Structure 1
């Protein structure tokens, strides 16, 4: 990682999450002794350079009442996955969607999409909607429901 002391200070100020205030970047800027513009420019550069991947809200679905959080995995014909993946990702109930390599013969799945339901029926309706969208181009699928949150952190650096 190619970061200087100021980048490190911004990372340390944000690695546990942005401050829960009306102007979080202003709070980070004040803590770092910078302007908001400096903070935003440095964050944009670090993202562009691959030092940080993204700046996003990371909800705790369980605390929000979503008890049925399922990673759906789909065996989609390779010739369709590039066109269908973005369509699945655009569904309003899909929090993230990506393509991964198959590991044959045990793991034929190449398209993954995370769904969240407050009830099992909610999650099943979402899975059915994805199945309808994919149609016969999906040869099979599974749903892997989570039972706890294993990781909800990003880049961590020490002082």
Structure 2
């Protein structure tokens, strides 16, 4: 990937690898740090996203600080011919932050749909899991949930100093 980054793009990534600045105009702050205009930073970041260098720009909230102390990765064994449409429905639920398909690891791991559920208590998360199960209906052959026990550091792209 480094071969596709010119020094300016590399500078933008280094200026944002710890996250966008928490200011009213974050792209302007990045622009000032790298010696560009705000529009140039936005254009370059869009181009890097189009080339697949930047996958996405998103907020990564601390769910615990927001009162969501029960967080469970629900896993589902969904019929392959239904996973696309059902996964889209599950991913659109307001309490699901991550929803994606993964290959099964048979015979030990039959699950192919993963959805992160958040709530203020395990009881709330279990109620949300029941709602997901209802949506999946007969297309789901089994499920489980893995509750978070601690927050892992979330990081994005990191460039090494040369």
TM-score between the two structures when normalised by the length of structure 2: 0.95
**Aligned pair 1:20/2:27, yes or no?**
no
Count of aligned pairs: 159
**Alignment map for 1:87-98 (pairs within 5 Å):** 87-98=89-100
Q: CA deviation at 1:56?
A: 0.4
Pick one of 33, 46, 52 that aligns with 1:50: 52
Q: How far apart, CA to CA, are the structure 2 residues paired with 1:67 and 1:73?
A: 19
Q: CA deviation at 1:151?
A: 3.4
Q: CA deviation at 1:150?
A: 2.2
Query: Contact (CA 8 Å) 1:12, 1:158: kept in 2 or not?
Result: no
Q: How far apart, CA to CA, are the structure 2 residues paired with 1:127 and 1:48?
A: 35
Q: CA deviation at 1:149?
A: 2.0
Question: What SS does structure 1 have at the residue aligned with 2:137?
Answer: helix
Query: Contact (CA 8 Å) 1:76, 1:137: kept in 2 or not?
Result: yes
TM-score between the two structures when normalised by the length of structure 1: 0.97
Query: Contact (CA 8 Å) 1:76, 1:138: kept in 2 or not?
Result: yes
CA RMSD of aligned residues (A): 0.9
Q: How far apart, CA to CA, are the structure 1 residues paired with 2:70 and 2:12?
A: 35
Q: How far apart, CA to CA, are the structure 2 residues paired with 1:64 and 1:150?
A: 16
**Alignment map for 1:35-46 (pairs within 5 Å):** 35-46=37-48
Summarize deviations over 1:12-70 as a string: whole Å, max 9, x none.
11111111110000000011110111101110111111111110000111122211111
In structure 2, the residue matched to 1:112 is 114
Q: How far apart, CA to CA, are the structure 1 residues paired with 2:150 and 2:49?
A: 29
Gaps of 5+ in 2: none
* Deviation beyond 6 Å, 4+ runs, structure 1: none
In structure 1, the residue matched to 2:81 is 79
Q: How far apart, CA to CA, are the structure 1 residues paired with 2:40 and 2:52?
A: 18
